[in-house]
Amino acid sequence: MTPAAQADSPSSREVGEPVLRVRAAAKGFGHVQALDEVDLDLRAGEILGVVGANGSGKTTLLNAISGLITLDSGTVAIAGRDVTTLSPTRRAAAGLGRTFQAPRVFEDMSLYENLNIDQRNDLLPDAQRERWDRTSAQSLTHGQRRLAELYRVLMRAPSVLLLDEPAAGLSAGERDELGGVLAGLASTGVAVLLVEHDLALVWNVAHRVAVMDVGAVVRTGSPAELAGDQAIGALLGGSLDARR
């Protein structure tokens, strides 16, 4: 089954439950309004792609949701709990996971130590653990570092996963692997917010897509609904049909 087909069949047991709600989120930096009254909902078992040109507010939105920046106004809630004033650590404890544009690994540790950094899980078979314990993170390729960071976040079993351009620098094969991982996560009920410039990946795995421009969400819909919108295509740099 292809990643796209998997994404079309998320877990019927959990899909539809709201697990992340952003309301009227606003953030300014000097004269720049980075977030302009953003409303966003994310459901369990859903992959929501967030796309837009550079500077449209995508990463600022992730930073606001994860608590790395403080909103000027608006709210963020996880599983019905208002986390607007909570620290990133407390939001993580509430079920939020996050990766960043540049993969972060501890090069002086083994792959196994990187994945099990907080010793919350030790579920690997002994043979696999021993093999990964002999693998220095310093020797990992860029693509392997990205996947290692993703798997490390998943060791905490988040209910909401924020991904900031996870496909950047990946080979075609690694991108396909990533798409399969995301589709598989959605099928188990994890809610995925995917900020990504690779529109082919977004259009293949996302259930819905939110388009941002100048700090605002200007359109939200399924990939099929947005594919024929010439205005959205022009905003993102070309025909969306060619990227499906």
Question: Where residue 64 sits, what CATH number does that domain have?
Answer: 3.40.50.300
Per-residue confidence (pLDDT) for residue 12, from 0 to 100 = 37
Q: Which residues of the chain have pLDDT under 70?
A: 1-16, 106-108, 110, 114, 117-134, 136-139, 238-244
Per-residue confidence (pLDDT) for residue 7, from 0 to 100 = 38
Residue 120 lies in a domain: no
Per-residue confidence (pLDDT) for residue 91, from 0 to 100 = 96
Supply the range of the domain harboring residue 205: 3-105+158-243
Asked if residue 10 lies in contact with residue 170, where contact means CB atoms within 8 angstroms, the answer is: no
- Read off the DSSP letter of residue 243: G
Per-residue confidence (pLDDT) for residue 16, from 0 to 100 = 64
Residue 121 lies in a domain: no
CA-wise closest residue to 117 among 102, 132, 128, 127: 132
Residue 211 lies in a domain: yes
User: Is 78 in a helix, a strand, or coil?
Assistant: strand
User: Is 191 in a helix, a strand, or coil?
Assistant: strand
Per-residue confidence (pLDDT) for residue 101, from 0 to 100 = 83
Residue 141 lies in a domain: no
Per-residue confidence (pLDDT) for residue 136, from 0 to 100 = 61
DSSP E strands in the chain: the ranges are: 18-29, 32-43, 47-51, 73-78, 81-82, 96-98, 160-164, 191-195, 208-213, 216-221
Residue 226 lies in a domain: yes
119: Cα separation from own chain's centroid: 23
Phi, psi of 138, rounded to the nearest 5 degrees: -65, -25
- Domains identified in the chain, total number: 1
Q: In what order do the strands lie in the sheet with 160-164?
A: 96-98, 160-164, 191-195, 47-51, 208-213, 216-221
Enter the pTM of the model.
0.81
Residue 127 lies in a domain: no
Per-residue confidence (pLDDT) for residue 159, from 0 to 100 = 93
Residue 25 lies in a domain: yes
Rounded to whole angstroms, how far apart are CA atoms 51 and 174? 21
Residue 189 lies in a domain: yes
